[in-house]
Amino acid sequence: MRSLLSFFTILPVRGATLEEAARSVYLLPLVGVVTALPGVLFALLGYAFPAGVAATLALGAVLLVAGFHHTDGVMDVGDALMVRGSQERRRGVLKDARVGVGTVGALFLVYAPALAALAALMAASPLRAALALFVSDVAARSAMLFTLAFGTPAEKSSSSVPFVRAMGGANRAVGLGLALGLPPLLALPLGGFSALAALVAAPLVALGALRAANGSFGGISGDVAGATGELSRTVLLVVLSGLL
């Protein structure tokens, strides 16, 4: 876990190489447990502050602890999907540091609904909002794991290569078990329908992302995996807000 936290968060733990983090990637859903905790604490401010303020601080805390690492993936994928042309050209945009209009659209479509849903949950019950954020962040990491477990890197130089390679054998079974079982288990206090939503959100979003990535880029990348997780969080928060 130390290597994963070093790679996927800004927490002050001993640094790890890409290969070291990849060896433990099957535990990725557990990273969501850690990154969600600051957001949970800020969500409880909903008892003292307006729902929108508390929701903004809570979501911001989750993204900050992750170092906005996956937010960068949302931005890169947004720009790349706006490009017309070959898969090779789109892959080039994924690695381009410049920011285009696709970035703005992707950030809005991924984070605005998440914030609105969290604010609605907060207005109903800050405790329920805190638990929903906790579950959805674990589901986000689970979606990333599904992407790595079933995806094929678009390029041999992709940062996803060692993670995809590490998802084999016993690691694959343990990782998929965590990714499937942990979100619905954590969502049980929210009710049966919420637990069902937590069960299906990550795999369904990952399936859609894999189909889109294969068609647009010829496979996955680290950016695709990160963006898939961010989108999964949003989808689950929106669904949970609809179950109020």
The pLDDT value given to residue 37: 94
Segment 106-133, tens digit of pLDDT: 999 999 999 999 999 999 999 999 999 9
Q: Is pLDDT of 91 > 90?
A: no
Segment 20-54, tens digit of pLDDT: 888 899 999 999 999 999 999 999 999 999 999 99
* Higher per-residue pLDDT: 225 or 98: 225
Confidence of residue 169 (pLDDT cuts 50, 70, 90): confident
Is-contact 187 38, C-beta < 8 A? no
The pLDDT value given to residue 85: 82
The pLDDT value given to residue 30: 95
* Higher per-residue pLDDT: 175 or 83: 175
d(CA 185, CA 148): 22
Give the mean model confidence (pLDDT) for residues 204-217: 95
Confidence of residue 156 (pLDDT cuts 50, 70, 90): confident
The pLDDT value given to residue 149: 94
Q: Is pLDDT of 158 > 90?
A: no
The pLDDT value given to residue 122: 96
Which residue in this structure is represented by tokens 């405790």? 127
Q: Is pLDDT of 214 > 80?
A: yes
Residue 156 carries which DSSP code?
T
- 212: its two tokens: 């889109």
The pLDDT > 70 percentage for the chain reads 100
Give the mean model confidence (pLDDT) for residues 58-74: 93
- 162: its two tokens: 């060692």
Which residue in this structure is represented by tokens 């990952």? 206
The pLDDT value given to residue 9: 87
Contacts of 68-73 with CB under 8 Å at 24 or more apart are: 69/8, 69/226, 70/140, 70/144, 70/226, 70/227, 70/229, 70/230, 71/107, 71/226, 71/230, 72/223, 72/226, 73/222, 73/223, 73/224, 73/225, 73/226, 73/227, 73/230
Which residue in this structure is represented by tokens 């009710």? 191
Mean pLDDT, the chain, as a whole number? Answer: 92
pTM: 0.93
Angle, CA of 229, 70 and 181, to the nearest 5°: 25
* Burial status of residue 66 (CB atoms within 10 A of its CB: 0-12, 13-18, 19 or more): buried
The pLDDT value given to residue 21: 83
The pLDDT value given to residue 230: 97
The pLDDT value given to residue 11: 86
Radius of gyration of the chain (CA): 17
Q: Is pLDDT of 196 > 90?
A: yes
